[in-house]
Copies of this chain bind each other. A is one copy, B any other.
Amino acid sequence: MSKLATIVGTNIRQIRKEKGFSQEGLALKAKIDRSYVGRIERGEVNITLEALYALATAIGCDAKTLLP
């Protein structure tokens, strides 16, 4: 697992929880598979910019705030 993916995954999880989303709720809103959201949050995936922006839009935050 890369440090970058781990940091971004942790940030997504933290902000998701702050905003009161379940993993499933975020997955539905971002139109991303729920288990994939889980893998992203665990830092197991090198996500694309489109996925990053879809998640940021769904959570309601600036994509850059998810980055180190």
Given A64-B67, A67-B64, A46:B49 Cβ within 8 A: yes
Interface contact B53-A63, CB-CB below 8 Å: no
User: How many copies are assembled?
Assistant: 2
By size class, the interface of chain A is 10 to 19
B residues near A59, Cβ cutoff 8 Å: none
Does A26 sit within 8 A of B, measured CB to CB?
no
- Known A-B contacts: A2-B50, A49-B67, A64-B64. Give 15 more (CB < 8 A): A4-B49, A4-B50, A4-B53, A5-B49, A5-B50, A46-B48, A46-B49, A46-B50, A47-B48, A47-B49, A48-B48, A48-B49, A49-B49, A63-B67, A64-B67
